[in-house]
Amino acid sequence: MNAPQFWTIPPSKLSPSQLAEKSQALTERLVSICKAHNDVRFATSLAAEDMVITDAIAQAKLPIQFFTLATGRLHQETVDMVKTTEDHYQIAITKAYPEESDIQAFIDQYGINGFYEGEAAKKACCGARKIKPLNAALLGADAWLTGQRREQSTTRTELNFAEHDDARGIEKFNPLFDWSEADVWAYIKQENVPIHPLHLKGYPSIGCEPCTRQVKQGEDIRAGRWWWLQSNSKECGLHVNQ
């Protein structure tokens, strides 16, 4: 039996001039957000899209605060990537941790890996480890950024650049909403952006360790997230207005 072939970084389809145009547009989007808002924060997962945004923010020296959701179940490569990014760009990335009481309550009800039981358990785990820490990390902000793209999944095809986050009462921006996967990797190559090690091992999308696997060639790029659930369950709730 042949070994499975996993996802690999796609080749660039952009000319240098096209990439320069996209890069300039990204910077202009970020500058416009900063001009319109007093306290802008960026939730980075350290994956490819978020590294592109990080690079653009750092190059333009914009007053945007970085934070990451330190869920307690991340790959060691992701934990290490925080310091790699801080050192490379000379920035500080705040770590948003879950409350111990919330984690214990989840474990008491479902067990340490109870999220495998189904959608309700998965949502409960993400609620404790991601959504509540995100809410806390955004207190006082009037806008936040994500690395979402329309092309990433069927749940994001109608994604816009700007939207109002009703759940948190602030504005939310998706600066890469109209970028393709190949656009992202063309930028990373051009700007020598640090790459998360798991991208080199067949992971196009990276979340918590027990909930993320490699993706085979031809599979949807988010097929490795919560793979035991249906295809319409590929969101953790961070980007759903509640």
Do the Cβ atoms of 55 and 191 come closer than 8 Å? Answer: yes
Tokens of 108: 């008491």
Note the pLDDT tens digit of each residue in 28-47: 999 999 999 999 999 999 99
User: Beta strand pairing status for 143-145 and 162-165?
Assistant: unpaired
Strands (E), the chain: 40-43, 64-69, 93-96, 143-145, 162-165, 170-173
Q: What is the residue type of 212?
A: T
CA 204 to chain centre: 11
Whole-structure pTM value: 0.93
Does any domain span residue 168?
yes
pLDDT, tens only, 139-197: 999 999 999 999 876 655 779 999 999 999 999 999 999 999 999 999 999 999 999 99
Domain count along the chain: 1
Domain assignment present for 32: yes
Element (H, E) at 56: helix 48-60
In a domain, 3, yes or no: no
User: Does residue 211 belong to any structural domain of this protein?
Assistant: yes
- Local confidence band at 3 (pLDDT 50, 70, 90 cut-offs): confident
241 domain residue, yes or no: no
Examine residue 173 and state whether it is found in any structural domain, yes or no. yes
The residues annotated as belonging to the active site are 236
The pLDDT score that the predictor gives to residue 137 is: 98
* DSSP reduced 3-state for 192: coil
The domain containing residue 38 runs over which residues? 17-233
CATH code at position 190:
3.40.50.620
Question: Is 239 a member of any domain?
Answer: no
